[in-house]
Amino acid sequence: MGSNERDERYKKWSDFIRNNQAHAMVELHIQYHTEIIKIRRTVVKGKSPFFELQLDKDKEFKKAHVTEVQKLVSKLDINPDNQFAFVSQGKIDAIKNLKPIELCSFLEEGIGLKGLRDEILQQKKGVLALNAEFQSLISRKNALNINLDLLTPQLKRLTEKNKLLDIRKKYTDELLWANKGELQKEIEELEANLNETEKQIDTIRKEVDEYQDKINEKDKIILDVDNKISSFSEKLGVLGYKKQEFINEISAWQKEKINAMSELDKLVEKIAEKKKTLENIRNQKKNVDEKIDLIKKKKGFIKNEIDGIIKEQSDLIRKIKENEVFLEKYNKLSQQREVILRTIQENENNVEDIKKDINDIFQSLKDIDHKLSKNKWFLENPSEDLLKQLDINLKKVTVELLKFGAEIERIEYDKSKKIREFKRIQTALRERKIVLSPNINILKEEINKRELSDRVKGPLIEYLKYDDKLSYAIESVFGERLLNSFITSDWDTLNLMERLKKKYNAYCNIYIPKKSNIAAYPKITANGIIGYLVELVEIINDDSDVQKVIYSIIKNCIVVDDYQAAKEIYKTSSFKGKCVTLQGKQIISYKYVYESPHVKRLKGLLSTGTQKEQSNFLEKEIKSLNNKVLELNVELTKLDKNQNEILRKKESFTDLLFNFKQKERLTTKKNHHYNLIYSLEQRNKEFNDNLSEVSQKLKDLESQKDPEFFEWNKRIKEIPSELNNYNNELKKWEEKFNENLESLKEISEEINYYRGDLKSSEDNYILKKDAFEKSDKKAFRIYRALENLEEELLNVNNIISELKERKKITLIEKKEIDTSYIQLNLRLEQEIFK
């Protein structure tokens, strides 16, 4: 199982189950000879995978253990890990384009060459590394040999020096025996001097001991002074600690004093702030009281107004009831007129909206017409058939493009081959040499590398000299294989050359000359005959082996001027050989027929003249191919432009078709709107006629009554809304009144709270002020104890200073004694050394 996205197998079978599926199954059919073996593996979510087998004799699948499947795979000699056994989608994507690199890589992995190649490359790298190390060791060996050569003279000198030192030691011993008497006298004198020196040493040692006693005495004095200083220092430390405690207490008192002062200031500020807040709340209460009085007055005024309106309403109702029938008829006509007016207005609004829609439709149609006018090709057939026709045209153009592209590639390939051949001929012309194929050159290099030059001759062309006019005849008869051939001296070399020829795919023959002499051909004379080809070719150094090859293969071939001369030879003589013209055309005489064989186009590379001729011919062909490529590129550009135009039309087709259909829809909608406007205007005309009739009836009714009657009717309609307004206003004032009462209650509670809080703060301020005044007395006592302690510290410091001065004097005295002691010790050492 492989992933479509990754070139690897799933790590778990359960990963292969698709979304929203309960299981996954894989079935494998294997043909073993004539038998079909089927293996099935199934995995279910939450369960282990299991195998099923079906052999030829089985009708259905049967469950099988994994060991059975493994044994079957081993029996069939199938390797599941082989590259060809598992081809993932990733590998298929890589090789489906049949690119040589991907295919070779895939095949190498499958047959195991990739690992072998990696191993070979690794071994090659190892060999290169060992070779580099070997070269390094050689360099090191050379350097060591040079150093050894440089050290050899020094070794010789050292040996000579050791010999001289042995001789010197021998002579020194002889000299000592010769001066034995004088040495004895010197020893006696030295013993006398030694006794005197020992006496002086004893005297100096006594002086040293005296100075040592003095030093010890001074050390005791210094130690005593140090002990006293240490004792007083301890006392000084205790006093300093007490002083620090007093200072800390004073600092703490000062901080407490500052904090207390700050706290008192804050309390004063809080008390002032609370008094101010209390005053503000009292002012708020005063304002609320004033608002409540104002609201009460406003409520009384509104209630009076409501009572007056209610009384007016009852009077008007009584008067209107007396004319109820008339009023009902009048109101009905008034309502009818209002309905007609409202309907007319609605219709006019609808007409205006429809006209706006029509203007928008006209603008859209204008835009669509503008777009369609730019694509007149679409208007010729605005349907799906046009898209199909575009697809057909696109396919035709694409096929033409591919054909032209393939033709250009083929011509470019031919051109590159001809350019390479042209360059090769040009190089040969410049260097005036014969052009050999690359494989023959490689074979020549291999012969030189293997040092086979003494046993191998070739290629044959390099041993021939001939007139330029014979080059086509030689190329036609000899052929490329013979001209590239090699001659070996023995059968072993022949076998080796055959292997090399096969290895490098060289187009040549290998020859071994026989030990026999060459027989000359009989002379032949006729018009147009130039001579035997083997005799016209000159062999360098008259090499007999080369002659044997030419005489064996070319035989009695005659070179003639033209076909006519060849025909004359065959007619007038009994010549049974081959004829070749200077242009390379052949006539061969067999037992029963003459043959003019087909000869491939001659390369003309065997002489300077023919090479130049071939060079000019290739140059013309290259120019012709270039012109053809230019013509094809012009056609290709036209086709490409045509293809782009078709693609552009295809891309714009959907949009244009939509616009065309949209135009049809908009036109239909526009006509519908015009019909709707006409119907609305007709209806408004009818409504206007009805309105005139209703208005006339109203005027007739109004003329029957006093004008005040209609004012009463208007007033009776206005009174409900006016009463409603007054009631709403009264309700608002009632709400404000209740809100102010609530505010007044809250303000009274706040006043009581702030009064108690203010009294509590004032009591707290009085207590803290008393505590602040008492703390000053305690601080005064601490200051007095601190002054006494500082006097005691001063006395101890004076005593320590005196002791330090005494220690300083003692140290100076000790330093002088130490100096004398050191001098005596040095003198003692000098005497002992003597």
pLDDT tens digits, residue range 273-285? 877 877 877 777 7
Does residue 62 form part of some domain? Answer: yes
pLDDT tens track for 647-691: 887 777 777 777 777 778 888 888 888 888 888 778 778 777 777
Does residue 461 form part of some domain? Answer: yes
**The token pair that represents 99 in the structure block:** 């690119």
Residues 488, 568 contacting (CB under 8 angstroms) = no
pLDDT band at residue 4 using 50, 70 and 90 as cut-offs: very low
The yes-or-no verdict on residue 3 having pLDDT over 50 is no
Q: Which of 296, 302, 301, 307 is nearest to 738 (CA)?
A: 296
Q: What is the pLDDT of residue 424?
A: 67
Tally of structural domains, the chain: 2
pLDDT tens track for 387-407: 777 788 888 888 888 888 888
Rounded average pLDDT over 17-27: 75
Does residue 786 form part of some domain? Answer: no
Rounded average pLDDT over 322-343: 69
Mean pLDDT of the chain: 77
Rounded average pLDDT over 209-224: 77
**Element containing residue 350 per DSSP (H, E):** helix 324-373
Does residue 100 form part of some domain? Answer: yes
Boundary-marking domain end, from 60, 92, 117: 117
Cα 434 to Cα 448: distance, rounded to the nearest angstrom: 19
Among 152-161, 180-189, 256-265, 748-757, name the most confident range: 152-161
The yes-or-no verdict on residue 556 having pLDDT over 70 is yes
The yes-or-no verdict on residue 1 having pLDDT over 50 is no
Q: What is the pLDDT of residue 608?
A: 47
Rounded average pLDDT over 418-441: 66
pLDDT tens track for 10-20: 555 556 666 66
Q: Which of 654, 662, 665, 666 is nearest to 378 (CA)?
A: 654
The yes-or-no verdict on residue 315 having pLDDT over 70 is no
Rounded average pLDDT over 775-799: 72
Does residue 543 form part of some domain? Answer: yes
Does residue 497 form part of some domain? Answer: yes
Q: What is the pLDDT of residue 486?
A: 93
Q: What is the pLDDT of residue 698?
A: 63
Cα 30 to Cα 33: distance, rounded to the nearest angstrom: 10
Peptide bond connecting 459 to the previous residue in cis, omega within 30 degrees of 0: yes
Rounded average pLDDT over 312-325: 61
**Of 32-41, 122-131, 346-355, 691-700, minimum mean pLDDT range:** 691-700
Task: List, in order, residues 6 or more apart from 537 with CB less than 8 Å away.
Answer: 464, 465, 466, 470, 474, 550
pLDDT band at residue 520 using 50, 70 and 90 as cut-offs: confident
Cα 122 to Cα 133: distance, rounded to the nearest angstrom: 16
Does residue 108 form part of some domain? Answer: yes
Boundary-marking domain end, from 96, 117, 138: 117
The yes-or-no verdict on residue 429 having pLDDT over 50 is no
Boundary-marking domain end, from 572, 604, 636: 604
Cα 336 to Cα 804: distance, rounded to the nearest angstrom: 131
pLDDT band at residue 354 using 50, 70 and 90 as cut-offs: confident
Higher pLDDT residue, 27 or 702? 27
Among 21-30, 141-150, 207-216, 701-710, name the most confident range: 21-30
pLDDT tens track for 88-113: 666 676 666 667 777 777 777 777 77
pLDDT band at residue 2 using 50, 70 and 90 as cut-offs: very low
pLDDT band at residue 579 using 50, 70 and 90 as cut-offs: very high
Cα 798 to Cα 792: distance, rounded to the nearest angstrom: 10
**Of 88-97, 241-250, 299-308, minimum mean pLDDT range:** 88-97
Q: What is the pLDDT of residue 432?
A: 47
At 588, which CATH number?
Answer: 3.30.70.1620
Higher pLDDT residue, 509 or 347? 509
pLDDT band at residue 5 using 50, 70 and 90 as cut-offs: very low
Name the residue range of residue 562's domain: 436-604
pLDDT band at residue 607 using 50, 70 and 90 as cut-offs: very low
Question: Would residue 600 be called left, alpha or beta, if left means φ above 0 and alpha means ψ between -120 and 50 degrees?
Answer: beta
Q: Which of 47, 39, 44 is nearest to 69 (CA)?
A: 39
Higher pLDDT residue, 582 or 230? 582
Does residue 80 form part of some domain? Answer: yes
For residues 87-106, one letter each, b for 16 or more C-beta atoms within 10 angstroms of the residue's C-beta and e for the rest, the string is ebeebeebeeeeeeeeeebb
pLDDT band at residue 336 using 50, 70 and 90 as cut-offs: confident
**Element containing residue 547 per DSSP (H, E):** helix 544-554
The yes-or-no verdict on residue 592 having pLDDT over 80 is yes
The yes-or-no verdict on residue 713 having pLDDT over 80 is no
